[in-house]
Structure 1
Amino acid sequence: MKKIIALLSAFIVLMFSFTAQANFDMSNPYQLANDVAVNTVKEIKANKDKISDNAVAEKIIQDNLFPYIDIKYAAYKVMGTSLKTLSKEDREKFTNAFEKYMKQSFVSVLSKYTNQEIVPSEVKNVPESESLVSVKMIIRESGKKDLELVLKMRKNSKTGEWKAFDLIGENISMLDAKVSEISPIIKNQGVDAAIAKLNSTDNK
């Protein structure tokens, strides 16, 4: 399970850690995913000697990754049925802790990046009424079996922009894995216990 989640985390990093100068159209989730993937592989390979530096990896993630991931939506999904009973302060506190956990996880994975390649998805037109889309892409690495990943994206109803919130690989959802682990803790022990669990998780 840890290896699958680490691989999914790596894919998110590969998909969304690009330079701030990149200006991608966020109105089509398929085109966005492809543009980001191609640019990201180029950028990471160009800076491969620096990626092992946590400060470099964290800056890439903070500046370029997180604006393209819907952390709040993902965190709210992890809170599950407890969301309605939690105060605004507790929701915000958990969301901040969840963001920190994800950032640390991505830093760990990014520092171990090898030479995977992305096979882009077919670009499709998305009906205006659609707000959730699954983008299928391939992770390819020499000497290993191709891995199909499904990147789940959600459109913001106000801005019309798409962001990623989950990945599924080998029928394992990265988000569902955290829901199963953390949601019961929030329900039975409270937000502080869930945050303590996130803080104690070994991301290496």
Structure 2
Amino acid sequence: MRILSVVLLMLYSSLATADEVDMSNPNQVIHSVSINTFSRINAEKEHLQKEPGYIQVVIEEELIPYFDYKYAAYKVMGSHLRKTSAEQRNDFVQAFRTYLVNAYGNILIKYDQQQIEILDNTHFMDKKIVSIPVRIRDQNEQLTQLAFKLRKNKKTGEWKVFDVIAEGISMLNTKQSEINDLIKKKGINHVIQLLEKKNSEFSS
């Protein structure tokens, strides 16, 4: 267990960059995501207040390198995946990636010096998928329970996040249920267009 206060986030932000992260250790990935992302938000708070859309840049640079968005997109498509063309799969992955950037940006822009507690998973060596709990406590002692699910790439050996569970609710499962139903009723092209529309609304 390790508690990362705002002070620690600020102090160590310069020590952990994406290039230095030990991607063979899922705990290191989550600690680095937390340190890099939250310290960046703190450091650029004034910029974010003037230009809220800048949070997308922060997410692109600090979170997306650790996120297996292609695997997540394929999981969301489910059984419909094999019925799509390569072009449709690529379009869906890109639209879903942008959706994730916008969705997480919308959540993290509200960050205001909470304490982050990460419970390391010490039994990951023989696993392909692991879950790492994270607790976020605000200044009013309100606790938010999260868990990051990570998958080990069998070719590279790197661990990357593919799902976030908030208060027991999986973002991936929620989107999978919603999008699978839409694909069944309207088709993959309609869903791609719908995601692109939502992405444009986030940006406006």
Task: Provide the C-alpha distance between the structure 2 equivalents of 1:62 and 1:203, rounded to a whole number of angstroms.
Answer: 15
Task: Provide the C-alpha distance between the structure 1 equivalents of 2:35 and 2:60, rounded to a whole number of angstroms.
Answer: 20
Q: Deviation string for 1:132-188 (max 9, x for gaps)? A: 000011111121431221110001111101100101122211111111111111122
Task: Provide the C-alpha distance between the structure 2 equivalents of 1:180 and 1:115, rounded to a whole number of angstroms.
Answer: 34
Deviation at 1:54, TM superposition (A): 4.0
Contact 1:38 1:118 in 2 (8 A): no
Contact 2:129 2:152 in 1 (8 A): yes
CA RMSD of aligned residues (A): 2.4
Contact 2:36 2:62 in 1 (8 A): no
- Does 1:57 find its partner at 2:55? yes
2:117 aligns to what?
119
TM (norm. structure 1) is 0.81
Q: Which ranges in structure 2 are unaligned for 5 or more consecutive residues?
A: 1-8
- The 3 A distance-change label for structure 1 pair 179 and 27 is same
1:32 aligns to what?
29
Over 6 Å off, 4+ runs: 18-21
- The 3 A distance-change label for structure 1 pair 191 and 160 is same
Q: Deviation string for 1:9-62 (max 9, x for gaps)? A: xxxxx9xxx779712111111122123323433332122112232453222222
Task: Provide the C-alpha distance between the structure 2 equivalents of 1:33 and 1:41, rounded to a whole number of angstroms.
Answer: 12
TM (norm. structure 2) is 0.81
Give the one of 99, 102, 112 matched to 2:100.
102
Contact 1:68 1:164 in 2 (8 A): yes
2:187 aligns to what?
190
Matches of residues 93-172 of structure 1 in structure 2 within 5 Å?
A: 93-127=91-125, 129-172=126-169
- Does 1:79 find its partner at 2:77? yes
Task: Provide the C-alpha distance between the structure 2 equivalents of 1:182 and 1:156, rounded to a whole number of angstroms.
Answer: 25
Structure holding more helix per residue: 2
- Does 1:47 find its partner at 2:51? no
Task: Provide the C-alpha distance between the structure 2 equivalents of 1:178 and 1:150, rounded to a whole number of angstroms.
Answer: 17
Task: Provide the C-alpha distance between the structure 2 equivalents of 1:69 and 1:20, rounded to a whole number of angstroms.
Answer: 20
- The 3 A distance-change label for structure 1 pair 103 and 32 is closer
Deviation at 1:112, TM superposition (A): 3.0
Task: Provide the C-alpha distance between the structure 1 equivalents of 2:145 and 2:102, rounded to a whole number of angstroms.
Answer: 25
Structure 1 range deviating more: 109-118 or 167-176: 109-118
Q: Deviation string for 1:58-103 (max 9, x for gaps)? A: 2222223211100100100111110111111111111111112222
- The 3 A distance-change label for structure 1 pair 107 and 146 is closer
Count how many residue pairs are aligned between Structure 1 and Structure 2: 187
Task: Provide the C-alpha distance between the structure 2 equivalents of 1:147 and 1:133, rounded to a whole number of angstroms.
Answer: 20
- Does 1:179 find its partner at 2:204? no
Task: Provide the C-alpha distance between the structure 2 equivalents of 1:63 and 1:43, rounded to a whole number of angstroms.
Answer: 10
